[in-house]
Amino acid sequence: MATKPSDSRWLDCINVILLVLAGVIVMTPTAWMVLSSFKPSHEVTAYPPTLIFAPTVENYVTLSEQTPFLSYAVNSLIVTVGSTLFGLLFGAPAAFVASWTRITWPAVVALMARMAPGTLFLLPWYVMFRQVDMIGSYWALILTHAVITLPIVIWVLLPYFDNIPRSIFEAAQVDGCSPFRIFRRIALPLVASGLAVSAILAFVFSWNFFLFSLVLSNSQTKTLIAASFNFIGEGSTNWGGLMAAATIIALPPLLLAAIVQRWLISGLTLGAVKG
């Protein structure tokens, strides 16, 4: 085996330390959350924290008995999937057109909308939806969550489209292809992995966003993450139940990310390299 220059070994060392550090920062609360959800309620806040305990599903049982948990989960899915599809449906053509025409200011506007705090949209949305009597409807939530999903889809896909040699589109034009067909038959298949990445990111961000749901939903359309806030405050907080809810909430995005991690990484770095 060739020995590496010492500089490079130092860098490797630092790299490992940083990775471990990041791992600890990310994994500790996650592990805490998952473990706590399986502890008896009174042990959750015990100090020092118990590491060895008799696991119980008590918290999960309480959760499903005390709250319409399943229907909240379904609400979450409807809103998240709906807004993700909405984002793809409009974001993908928007990114294609922005890349084709090299007019990117709409994408910048979309990004700024994404950067702005959600409260910026919340009040106008609330007033508008109330006027058309849509508060509490799925559509109200799906549309507001599109504020999150659209910019994600556009910005993830833009470098993918930019990466396709222009001559391929031109060849299609010469071959008698209309712009819409170029989009569907040439461009979309060539950014398939980008579509997957953007769909997953949109799903995760939409799933995790609770602010809109807190204000714009009613008891029928409340999403999981907004509903979980019911556990806090009212009298004494049920930490065990909260941990169980949090674990369930965290599950879908984590699962998704685990399944597609390779795509995700290549997709994110593509964006980074192309700037």
The residues binding another protein (CB under 8 A) are 165, 167-168, 170-178, 181, 185-186, 189-190
Closer CB to another protein, residue 27 or residue 168?
168
Closer CB to another protein, residue 165 or residue 233?
165
**Residue 207: what residue type?**
W
Closer CB to another protein, residue 168 or residue 251?
168
Chain Cα centroid distance, residue 69: 21
CB-based contacts of 79, cutoff 8 Å, min separation 6: 138, 141, 142, 145, 206, 213, 221, 223
Could you tell me the smallest distance in angstroms from the CB atom of residue 181 to another protein?
Answer: 7
- Within 56-117, residue ranges assigned H as helices are 58-66, 69-101, 105-115
Could you tell me the smallest distance in angstroms from the CB atom of residue 186 to another protein?
Answer: 6
Closer CB to another protein, residue 165 or residue 275?
165
Closer CB to another protein, residue 122 or residue 186?
186
C-alpha dist (Å) from residue 178 to 7, 183, 195: 55, 9, 22
Could you tell me the smallest distance in angstroms from the CB atom of residue 29 to another protein?
Answer: 42
Contact 106, 98 (CB under 8 A): yes
Could you tell me the smallest distance in angstroms from the CB atom of residue 165 to another protein?
Answer: 6
Could you tell me the smallest distance in angstroms from the CB atom of residue 173 to another protein?
Answer: 4
